[in-house]
């Protein structure tokens, strides 16, 4: 029998009543010794994650940034994982959620593209988000706001409920994967001190192709020739992203028309 680990910061114990966590600063006293509270800690966490990445983030490092002892943070937060979950949801707050309630709405295709674009940008802007999304349940309030918007837009396609689940997965797991790789690639380039194009060419040139696959490697090279010929990596990635969305939207339309 495994020791029951907590499922999420956002999920209180269901065995008893749902009581609010006592540690949040509720303004009971105006001035706290160090001015610390969950808000401030979470903001500092996001800032540090942006600046140095998930791998280098530590509770001690964070405490240093806050001008406080490492253990002070533990008054406001149970574990490092809880803090990361808070930071994750805070970042999800940057997503631009389109209005899905107005009288006169753009078609679902347009809104789906908007949602995909804002999610992609978030993942690229904060490369540390992607491993955390994989690691936690992601049921924070900001995250839910986004999920709801996605569901509302997909509901307008005319797919059945079961198909809607598949379509949501299709589009947003794709964006997740795409943004993950893209974000990490940019981060790596920055770390190594190369531009994306330099890094790309260096990686292409650096490894020798085994003889037995020399011929289908030429095909791969043709696929990438847009970049080889001086086109830049960013432009190619935008193109590929658009093609993928076009393709998926066309696919949804086909499923819908088959239902009629």
φ, ψ for residue 102, nearest 5 deg: -60, 165
Q: Judged by CB, which is closer to DNA: 57, or 176?
A: 57
Give min distance, CB of 99 to DNA, in A.
39
Q: Return the range that interacts with DNA (CB under 7 A); candidates 20-28, 125-133, 237-245, 251-259.
A: 20-28
In the list DNA, its own copies, none, the entry touching 20 (Cβ below 5 to 8 angstroms by class) is none
Contacts (CB under 7 A) with DNA, residues 69-88? 69-72, 74-76, 79-81
CA dist 238 and 234 (Å) reads 6
Contact 174, 248 (CB under 8 A): yes
Give min distance, CB of 69 to its own copies, in A.
26
In the list its own copies, DNA, none, the entry touching 58 (Cβ below 5 to 8 angstroms by class) is DNA
In the list DNA, its own copies, none, the entry touching 60 (Cβ below 5 to 8 angstroms by class) is DNA
- Binding of residue 68 to DNA (CB under 7 A): yes
Contact 45, 84 (CB under 8 A): yes
Q: Judged by CB, which is closer to its own copies: 76, or 146?
A: 146
Q: Which residues bind DNA (CB under 7 A)?
A: 23, 25, 28-29, 32-36, 57-61, 68-72, 74-76, 79-81
């Amino acid at each position: 029998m495994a020791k029951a680990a907590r499922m999420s910061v956002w999920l209180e114990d269901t065995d008893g009543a749902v009581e609010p966590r006592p540690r949040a600063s509720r303004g009971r006293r105006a001035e706290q010794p160090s001015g610390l509270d969950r808000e401030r800690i979470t903001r500092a966490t996001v800032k540090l994650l942006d600046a140095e990445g998930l791998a280098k983030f530590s509770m001690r490092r964070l405490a240093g940034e806050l001008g406080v002892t490492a253990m002070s943070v533990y008054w406001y937060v149970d574990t490092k994982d809880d803090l990361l979950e808070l930071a994750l949801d805070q970042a999800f707050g940057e997503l631009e959620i389109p209005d899905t309630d107005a009288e006169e709405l753009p078609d679902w295709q347009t809104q789906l593209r908007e949602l995909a674009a804002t999610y992609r940008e978030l993942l690229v802007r904060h490369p540390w988000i992607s491993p955390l999304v994989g690691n936690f349940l992601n049921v924070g309030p900001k995250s839910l706001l986004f999920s709801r918007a996605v569901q509302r837009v997909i509901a307008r396609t005319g797919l059945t409920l079961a198909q809607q689940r598949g379509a949501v997965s299709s589009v947003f797991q794709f964006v997740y994967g795409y943004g993950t790789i893209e974000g990490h690639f940019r981060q790596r380039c920055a770390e190594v001190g190369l531009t994306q194009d330099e890094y790309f060419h260096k990686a292409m040139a650096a490894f020798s192709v085994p003889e037995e696959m020399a011929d289908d490697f030429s095909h791969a090279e043709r696929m990438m020739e847009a970049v080889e010929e001086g086109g830049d990596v960013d432009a190619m990635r935008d193109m590929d992203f658009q093609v993928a969305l076009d393709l998926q939207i066309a696919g949804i339309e086909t499923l819908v028309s088959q239902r009629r």
